[in-house]
Amino acid sequence: MITPMRYLLLVLGVLIGLHYILSFTNETYGRTTSIENIKNQFKSNHPPYKDPIPDEYYINSNSTRKANAVIVLLARNGDLDGVLSSLKQMEDRFNRKFHYPYVFLNDEPFSDKFKSLVSEVTDAQVQFGLIPPDHWHQPSWIDEAKASAAREKMIENKVIYGGSVPYRNMCRFNSGFFYRHELLKPFKYYWRPHVKFFCDLDYDPFLYMQDNQKVYGFTISLFEYIETIPTLWDAVKDFMADNPNLIAKDNAIDFLSDDGGNTYNKCHFWSNFEIADLELWRGEAYSKFFDFLDKRGGFYYERWGDAPVHSIGASLFARKDQIHFFNEIGYRHEPFQHCPQGEVHKKGKCWCDMEQNFDYEWYSCLKKYDGLFK
């Protein structure tokens, strides 16, 4: 039988124990909910995409929230057929439910036919912008003899787009100028959707990024063609040495390098699909980084692509947990595709073959991304 004294001592013991636990969690984790902090201590340390997107981001009759976001397509008049195909898939799979605006950019004025046919595909707002010449054309300070010799060598070595100046203009524009365009200045997030979509997307990836402080999202990562960027990592190392204060703490450099930054393992996110925070590129760190690279001339003396430049920038100037793999978005850009697996495949009503999936093929870098969270 428990006496009144023993009962009192037992109650005091329980209260003291609870006080100790709550004091400890508050000291360690601040003023957030103690129970949540205890849960987080024991949460498995796996990549964020292994946790399903919360139901609150899926569309329903009460969905009214929207992010300050835009869908961006860089195109020419001659790309009309491909643009209409991508746009129709984007509308059918996602945007007819969310109505985010579009911005189309071109280094030449869009034709009336282009604008008319594109505008017929969507009920969302569509704007057409002209790229300023100084944001597009090869700068006057580039040594054309040196650049021409580099192009000839790449042609001899059968490097894809090795002889193309317009392709280099596009890579430089996407690396350092598109986010400065007047039509994009009002927006915080953007999505580049030059892709084939396999699945219905019934949740809002913009809101998910906004609420979870994500700044860069991807669906395919792979090794870059090293012949296009032979000196890029040398430039990156020089920048890091000169600007250590700009490198983010707990960054994703281990996605890029297997030896702490000494060498580049060639991993990058494919930027023909990217959802990102425009402030990442507009910030001091990336702005200085792009200017530094631009002065090296590698966009023209070699063939630096916006995909490795963006990937390196995101990996160095953001925390690793701010980079997100959108596992639920089925996507193809020739010749690779991401096909969601298992329950995610069923939930998205995907029509791709799950066996045709690039995620862990030998040429994929997703395993490097996964490794950031071990």
Residues recognised as catalytic: 274
Q: What residues contact 62, with CB distance under 8 A and at least 6 apart?
A: none
- Residue 262's identity, in one-letter code, is N
Residue 265 Cα distances to 198, 227, 240, 268, 364, angstroms: 30, 13, 17, 9, 12
Bridge partners of 177? none
Residue 246: φ, ψ to 5°: -90, -10
Residue 58: φ, ψ to 5°: -85, 145
Q: Where are the alpha helices (DSSP H) in 177-283?
A: 205-211, 232-242, 253-256, 278-282
d(CA 367, CA 374): 11
Name residue, tokens 């969310």. 98
H or E stretch at 115:
helix 112-121
Residue 154: φ, ψ to 5°: -65, -35
Closest among 214, 275, 179, 210 to 68, alpha carbons compared: 210
